[in-house]
């Protein structure tokens, strides 16, 4: 089986430069350097040899055209893995990584740059396949892919993050968490296998005879043992052999706490005295306990690269008649990030994340403002805001007038300030002349709208008695609108009136006027708001010529624009 060597930074720069210049030798060198590892990754992700070969072919053709666009040429491996990953993910993410179950595990790691730990005395390949599947089954599909690229393909956090479309720090956290979960699952599986092996070799108990005192049941031992505390850091004995020097970590996440707790539980199970005594004398159990997750993943069976794939890649990349085919392959590769790396379908672009963050902040601020306005309720002064309408028309409560019998007799709009109300019918006819207010002078003038008194031989007729002002409604609610109508009518005689508002948000179409006997007038109330208005309440005060005061309560809600 061919072994792969790590590419040097200078070699990557030269390869990118050769691809940019259209050098066929650079493409051949690039294929020889990365062909087998890309095929191994694509086959692990897809599980189909033909599909994996097609992904490798399209990745190299795409790299000839677009790989030189990346900013940092040291990320050549990240570009290739990212392009292959995008094509794998578009075909559907697998739940489990694929390996040939009939192939044998190797004594050497997949890459020569990986640490060659001692694997002598490991169990046979058939059992190693089961241990590897159990260790990877404890991880999510995304974490399985992260540990595959980190442990088997030796991508460091910075290059791994560039290939996965995330930061190097997040990639390192994901690899550390995935490695810990793999070790915990592998330790639990080994402990279970050791207990099963010990139970299969234990002599059958004779009925009526007490069990040996030196071999208590495993269940009783586990039940009597108190729960192990969660450590702050993984134990050095439980860490993988290739973990390297210890790294100081910050606060652990909830997932890592659970992983460490499972490792502690697995260590407790492994500390079963009966199982330990059996493992000391059983060579198979000793071999199982030597297996570690990271070396196991590095020594998984490597597929054989198809011999015809190299010729296919070189022919497609160099044949002038296939220029349109090469352009189509590059177009199917998707867009590139601002750094020139292939964008991943499961990772939003930086522009999308920026717009989501900005839009989320604006929506959150607007919701907070509306909630605060509604929580403060009516009566808060000053502000103005209008939300989408709660009602299409102003809601008017038809309450009785202040004389207890107020009724609308029409819907005639009044004129400008200082003029009389709308024309109203009178017993003697109609008149548009303004009504003169009643005064305390000795010789008051009769109303202009009343008919001239007929001459009487008995003497002059006394002046007409002033009427009663009736205001309807008593309460006006403006939700979703900024205008409303207030009706004024006169009973038992003509009246004159004046009006005023309690605050500056309410504006009246008329501030004074007069109403003939039996007539009506309409006053428009307008709510003046700015961009944002808060809910509030105000009062309209109408005063007639006799000094009687009539008040109308006006309520409005929050508004926007």
- Together in a domain, 512 and 541: yes
Tens-binned pLDDT, residue by residue, of the chain (561 aa) = 444 444 456 788 888 988 888 889 999 999 999 999 999 999 999 999 999 999 999 999 999 999 998 888 878 999 999 999 999 999 888 888 998 888 889 888 888 765 666 677 788 888 899 999 999 999 999 999 999 999 999 999 999 999 999 999 999 999 999 999 999 999 999 889 888 888 887 654 444 444 444 444 333 333 334 444 434 434 433 434 443 444 444 444 555 555 555 555 555 554 567 777 777 788 888 888 889 989 999 999 999 999 999 999 999 999 999 999 999 999 999 999 988 999 998 887 555 556 566 777 778 888 887 787 777 655 444 444 444 444 444 545 544 444 444 444 444 444 444 444 444 444 444 444 444 444 444 444 444 444 555 555 555 555 556 778 888 888 888 887 888 888 888 887 888 888 888 887 888 888 888 888 888 888 898 888 777 777 888 898 988 877 888 889 998 887 766
* In-domain check, residue 108: no
410 Rama sector, left if φ>0, alpha if ψ -120 to 50, beta otherwise: left
Is the separation of the CB atoms in 401 and 497 below 8 Å?
no
- Together in a domain, 173 and 291: yes
Q: List Cβ neighbours of 388 (8 Å cut-off, separation of 6 or more).
A: 480, 560
Task: Give dist(CA 182, CA 396) in Å, integer.
Answer: 70
Is the separation of the CB atoms in 508 and 525 below 8 Å?
yes
- Together in a domain, 292 and 178: yes
- Together in a domain, 292 and 318: no
SS3 content of the chain, % helix, strand, coil (to 5): 45, 15, 45
Q: Which residue has the tokens 């601020």?
A: 365
- Together in a domain, 236 and 366: no
Q: Is the pTM value of this prediction over 0.75?
A: no
**H runs (alpha helix) in 292-440:** 293-298, 308-318, 323-332, 350-376
* In-domain check, residue 451: no
**H runs (alpha helix) in 104-167:** 125-137, 141-147, 157-164
- Together in a domain, 75 and 188: no
* In-domain check, residue 133: yes
* In-domain check, residue 242: yes
- Together in a domain, 243 and 308: no
| Domains held by the chain: number | 4
| Owning domain of residue 190 | 116-202+210-301
Which is nearest to 515 in space by CA: 413, 428, 402?
413
* In-domain check, residue 94: yes
- Together in a domain, 66 and 125: no
* In-domain check, residue 443: no
- Together in a domain, 318 and 215: no
pLDDT tens string 446-497: 444 445 555 555 555 555 567 788 888 888 888 878 888 888 888 878 888 8
CA dist list (Å): 139 to 52, 126, 292, 294: 23, 22, 16, 14
**DSSP-derived secondary structure letter, 271:** T
Considering 237, 266, 301, which residue would you say is the last residue of a domain?
A: 301
Pair of tokens at residue 300 = 């998984």
- Together in a domain, 272 and 316: no
Task: Give dist(CA 271, CA 283) in Å, integer.
Answer: 18
CATH of the domain at 555: 2.60.40.10
- Together in a domain, 276 and 143: yes
* In-domain check, residue 560: yes
* In-domain check, residue 511: yes
CA 14 to centroid of chain Cα atoms: 42
Task: Give dist(CA 22, CA 522) in Å, integer.
Answer: 85
Which is nearest to 4 in space by CA: 82, 109, 81?
109
- Together in a domain, 152 and 235: yes
């Amino acid at each position: 089986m061919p072994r792969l060597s790590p590419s040097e930074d200078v070699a990557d720069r030269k390869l990118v430069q050769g691809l940019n210049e259209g050098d066929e030798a650079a493409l051949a060198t690039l294929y020889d350097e990365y062909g087998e590892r890309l095929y191994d990754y694509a086959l692990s992700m897809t599980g189909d040899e033909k599909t994996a070969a097609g992904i490798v072919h399209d990745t190299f053709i795409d790299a000839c055209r677009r790989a030189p666009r990346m900013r940092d040429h040291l990320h050549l491996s990240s570009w290739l893995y990212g392009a292959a990953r995008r094509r794998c993910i578009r075909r559907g993410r697998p739940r489990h990584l694929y390996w040939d179950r009939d192939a044998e595990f190797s004594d050497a790691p997949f890459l020569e740059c990986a640490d060659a730990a001692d694997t002598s005395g490991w169990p046979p390949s058939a059992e190693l396949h089961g241990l590897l599947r159990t260790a990877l089954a404890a991880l999510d599909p995304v974490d399985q892919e992260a540990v595959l690229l980190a442990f088997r393909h030796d991508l460091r956090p910075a290059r791994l993050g560039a290939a996965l479309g995330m930061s190097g720090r997040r990639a390192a956290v994901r690899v550390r968490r995935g490695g810990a979960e793999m070790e915990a699952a592998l330790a639990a599986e080994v402990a279970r296998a050791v207990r099963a092996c010990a139970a299969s070799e234990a002599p059958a108990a004779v009925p009526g005879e007490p069990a040996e005192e030196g071999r208590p049941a495993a269940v009783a031992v586990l039940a009597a043992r108190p729960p192990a505390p969660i450590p702050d850091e993984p134990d050095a004995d439980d860490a993988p052999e290739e973990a390297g020097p210890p790294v100081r970590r910050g606060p652990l996440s909830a997932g890592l706490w659970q992983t460490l707790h499972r490792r502690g539980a697995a260590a407790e199970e492994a500390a079963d005295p009966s199982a330990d005594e059996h493992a000391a004398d059983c060579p198979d159990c000793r071999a199982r306990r030597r297996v570690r997750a990271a070396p196991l993943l590095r020594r998984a069976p490597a597929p054989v690269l198809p011999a015809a794939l190299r010729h296919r890649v070189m022919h497609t990349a160099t044949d002038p008649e296939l220029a349109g085919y090469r352009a189509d392959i590059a177009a199917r590769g998707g867009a590139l990030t601002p750094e020139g790396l292939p964008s991943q379908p499961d990772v939003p672009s930086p522009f999308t994340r920026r717009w989501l963050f900005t839009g989320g902040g604006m929506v959150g601020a607007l919701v907070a403002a509306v909630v605060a306005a509604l929580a403060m309720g009516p009566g808060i002064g000053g502000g103005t805001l209008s939300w989408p309408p709660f009602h299409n028309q102003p809601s008017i409560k038809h309450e009785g007038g202040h004389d207890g019998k107020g009724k609308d007799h029409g819907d005639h709009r009044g004129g400008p300030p200082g003029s009389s109300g709308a024309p109203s019918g009178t017993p003697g006819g109609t008149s548009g002349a303004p009504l003169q207010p009643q005064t305390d002078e000795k010789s008051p003038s009769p109303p202009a709208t009343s008919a001239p008194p007929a001459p009487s031989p008995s003497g002059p007729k006394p002046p007409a008695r002033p009427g009663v002002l009736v205001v309807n409604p008593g309460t006006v609610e403006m939700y979703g609108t900024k205008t409303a109508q207030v009706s004024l009518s006169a009973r038992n005689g003509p009246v004159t009136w004046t009006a005023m508002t309690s605050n500056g948000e309410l504006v009246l179409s008329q501030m004074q006027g007069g109403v003939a006997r039996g007539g009506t007038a309409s006053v428009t109330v307008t709510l003046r708001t700015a961009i944002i208005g808060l809910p509030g309440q105000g009062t309209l005060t109408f005063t007639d010529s006799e000094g009687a005061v009539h008040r109308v309560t006006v309520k409005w809600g929050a508004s926007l624009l």
